[in-house]
Structure 1
Amino acid sequence: MPHNSIDNEAYKASRLSVAPMMDWTDRHCRYLHRTLSKNTLLYTEMVTAPALVRGGAVHLLDFDAAEHPVALQLGGSDPAELAQAARLGAAAGYGEINLNVGCPSDRVQSGTFGAVLMKSPDLVAECCAAMIAAVDVPVTVKCRIGVDRQVPRDVLPDFLARVAAAGVTRFTIHARMAWLDGLSPKENRDIPPLDYTLVRAMKAEFPDLHLSVNGGVTSLAQARAFLDAGLDGVMVGRAAYHQPAYILCAADRVIFGAGAPDTTAEGAIKAMLPYIEAHLAAGGRLNQITRHMLGLFAGRPGARAWRRKLSEGAHRAGAGPELIDAALSEVAAAQAA
């Protein structure tokens, strides 16, 4: 079977994935998410090809084997450089290499990568072809439905067709335009309207492509509805970060049909403690991990006390697992009240 085939671990896991999010989905965040769901596909933050190839920043590829299935997202627009970065990612052990054609940040535009590449589908195809030739793991693309004054119904099918012709079989479509001229990156995550109908139409138009939808998904029920409607996968972003237990604890059962009991926030915390202790022993700080754990009890009694205790104490010198125990005690007291 071709090495860019969809018959691999990341393909199966992509029924539900957690979006690559800058400054959020680092290795500690991914380790936490893996304690909540065995099956959900996790993505790195975007790593730029120049940082790896020209800057030698291969430490950006570090991850724990327990994070699998995990995919590396790359940013760039030079085919040869992306091919070399993809080789580094595959050698590091990632099960998928994803090209960012969706990020609207100013940094990204100045480097001619991210969402601005929606205007250059042939270049994206060339980049993907070079990456596919370089590695033995799937190369995928995360894109928008269009940018600026483009007409999504016209440009998106053309984009998919051109990039698919280069060998890409899996796309994640953020169902919003990116307005690079006039909106900030934060505004681009909220203001452009969602067009799920167009994404579903693309699945009808390209039945052989594996298409996942991204943008505005805030519950497993919503994700399940997209899958039942015929889409191949659903990517959840901010909701999975701010409410990780709400999104991920039941994911293995609801999305993947697993028979094991749902996980719990309390169980995830217990599973994180050896990881936290190893991180501290290696000279790390507690808040580097606990900043990703603040939303574990979102929507439950004690959530505020949990957040406050960790936010106020985890950055202090010497802070360790006893702070987590104290925060958990406040959660237990709130739930018993």
Structure 2
Amino acid sequence: MMLRRKSIWLVMLIAALLLLAACGSSGGTGDDLTGAASSAPEESAAPETGTEQTFQPTTVTDDTGATIAIDKPVEKVACIVSLCVDVLAELGMEPSALAESGVRVIASSPEFYGSKGETFPSIGGSFFEPSLEDLVTSAPDLVIGLKGAHDTLREGLGGVAPLFLASPSHYNDSLRFLETIGQLTGKTEEAAAAKARFLDKLKAAGEKAPKDKKALIIFGSDVNFSVVTATGLGGTIMKEISDYPWKVEKPEDDPYGEGSVPYSLEKLLVEDPDVIFVESYSYAPDTKPVSEQLAESPLWSKLKAVQNGQVHEVRSPIWGDGRGTRSLGVMLDESLAILYPDLFPRS
């Protein structure tokens, strides 16, 4: 592909010289790009004022190691994971279709598309088995899903659209994913701007926050909860603004390297956090939030955070499922306002 582009350029140059026309700027060539699992691609030079940046055929690798080749800018993206909604919002794009449940919830949140999020075409089925018929009907250029959840869809989507699977476990992974999708969609400038906004916000928060509060994120659907450790996605944000001592002590407790481990109230009492953020997941209409279920245990009331009224149920579709830079920015804003209300008042 690179050789063919060079040949075309050479023919055009010879023709231009024969016609004695002035030459414009010559186009450079770049190495193949890697996706969210690899180092960040170099940013392209900004196009001259009044010109459009030429899209170069691009090859990326997703988090499963699958190679995805794109020869024209991706315009229609079907989202079967919330991370997809996050990145499209950052790039100023809209999904061509949405899976239901949490994906629809985040799309309809005010920080994303608001009420317009209710109008995007629906992809039926379950989270782990979205409807292939609906995906085909939406005629996407790209489908974005979650590694470990949607891997089996790749064969079914063959000949329909490439499938990009991601699973960021650090905010740097989310940044690389943003840049990669920016490359595939021809939205490199939008990706660079979103990256800068996020990093500037995180740096300013880290410099201003006193980090004298011990924070904790837990998640679950019942009393069998798990802790997001400092190597989990949310933990990589929290350790920048707070005392966040939670870690994976035994590799077997975190076999997939996601940075989350099962916990008990007895173990929680050892560190005794000042503030607890709770991501509750409900699988039935009448399910109580996790904090209310844990409150039925006598041990819960012994925690400092409980005694001081510092247990906060958060928006799990954004905090837990969003995974992208916009969701992490929302997490950052909301957690700072709770941890240090005098320094970071709610807007």
TM-score by length of 2: 0.30
More helix per residue: 1
